[in-house]
Structure formats: structure tokens, C-alpha cells
Amino acid sequence: MKRWDGILIALFLLPAALWLLLQRPQPERLLVNIYVDGELVSSAPLPAQATALRIEGVGGYNLLLLEPDGVRMQAADCPAGDCVHSGKITRAPMAIACLPHHVLVVLEGAAETGEGGVDIVAG
């Protein structure tokens, strides 16, 4: 399942990726997976332009800022605000957790398929 999802995403993204390549170097494609209370509520690639995304967590909200090169928690109404202070994540498999709201934001590398040659990347 996961492999096919990756292929579909790669096919869907290919024209956009090519277009992006003309604009700026894109070292790796990353998916932003958002979990609330253990459930995957959103899975999308990093956007070409900065985009704010409001997440309805458990007992509060989180405002996520998706940027072409990473993700950070811009605002939240959790008591400690640790998620906001944790800064920007830019690589897989980094994550931002908001424990009070049961929100987990994980960067994942997109499947490396459909590119013709396969680069073996260790680590």
C-alpha cells in the first residue's frame, strides 16, 4: 500500500516538481504528516509557498507554518508552548510534538520512485 501511495504521489507531483526545479533547487521531497490523538489527519508535501495550517488538537489549536524548506509551529494555545519553541524542522525524520494537544507533526522523506535512476542514500 505504502509503496503504491508513493508512486501515485510521485506521478502526481512530477509536473509540479519539474516546474519547481526551474525555480529553486529542491534537494529532497518531504511529506508533512500530521497526527492528532494518534490519527493521521493530513499528509501533504511541503508547499511551494509558505502556508499556514490550523490544526484542531485535543483541547486547543496549533497553527503550523509550512514552508518550502521546512515546518514550524507558529502559534498554539497550549500551556507551555514547547512546540512553538522547538523551532523549525527541515529534514526527515524530524518531528514537532505538542503533547498537551496530542498533536504530532512529522517530516517524512517521500518515496524515491519514478526518477529513473535510484540514488542510494545512507542514513
Q: Which residues bind Zn ion (CB under 5 A)?
A: 76, 78, 83, 98
Closest separation in Å from C-beta 56 to Zn ion: 13
Closest separation in Å from C-beta 55 to Zn ion: 10
Closest separation in Å from C-beta 74 to Zn ion: 11
Q: Identify residue 107 by its one-letter amino acid code.
A: L
Binning the chain into helix, strand and coil, the percentages to the nearest 5 are 20, 40, 40
Between 64 and 78, whose beta carbon lies closer to Zn ion? 78
Between 13 and 94, whose beta carbon lies closer to Zn ion? 94
Between 45 and 100, whose beta carbon lies closer to Zn ion? 100
- Does 47 sit behind a cis peptide bond, omega within 30 degrees of 0 on the bond before it? no
Whether 84 contacts 71, CB under 8 Å: no
Task: Round to whole Å and give the CA distance between 90 and 94.
Answer: 7
